[in-house]
Amino acid sequence: MTKKPPIFILDSDEKFAGCLARYIKKAGGEPKIFKNLFEMNAGLSVTIPRLIFFDPLLDGPDAFGFLNELMSYDDTNKIPLAIVSNLSFNLADFEDYPMRAIFNKSRLRPEDIIAFVKHAGLSH
């Protein structure tokens, strides 16, 4: 059986990222947590993930600049993306990106992430 690529989590809130990782594991995915863009860029140089969950509110470089950079490379411009944030975003605002979902952290339930990962064909 071929091992599927990991699912990246980019969030500076380590406790929340840990919870999200548990939900992804329950759905059959293999999560990798990064607390900033520098770490994730290093991770991207090693492997291309199946999906990236990210919170745009990061310490350090701007997450939207990161999105534009992802879109500029052939090997990363089709990675499915999902925002997980306390801010309100509209999926239509991201039509130029491979954005699959936007989750509000304050209303997020474990089953939302599990169903999303399974439904998106990202589980084993």
Give Cα 53 to chain centroid, integer Å: 1
Percent of the chain's residues with pLDDT above 70 = 93
The mean pLDDT of 7-36, rounded to a whole number, is 95
The mean pLDDT of 51-64, rounded to a whole number, is 82
**Segments making up each domain of the chain, as ranges:** 8-119
- pLDDT the model gives residue 69: 86
Span 8-119 CATH architecture:
3-Layer(aba) Sandwich (3.40)
- pLDDT the model gives residue 5: 92
- pLDDT the model gives residue 121: 60
The mean pLDDT of 38-65, rounded to a whole number, is 87
End-to-end CA distance of the chain: 10
Write out the two tokens for 67: 């999105």
How far is residue 66's CA from residue 88's CA, in Å, rounded to a whole number?
Answer: 19
Nearest 5°: the CA angle 51, 56, 60 is 115
Q: Which pTM was predicted?
A: 0.91
- Whether the pLDDT of residue 123 is over 80: the answer is no
- pLDDT the model gives residue 11: 92
Categorize the per-residue pLDDT at 2 as very low, low, confident or very high, splitting at 50, 70 and 90.
low
- pLDDT the model gives residue 96: 87
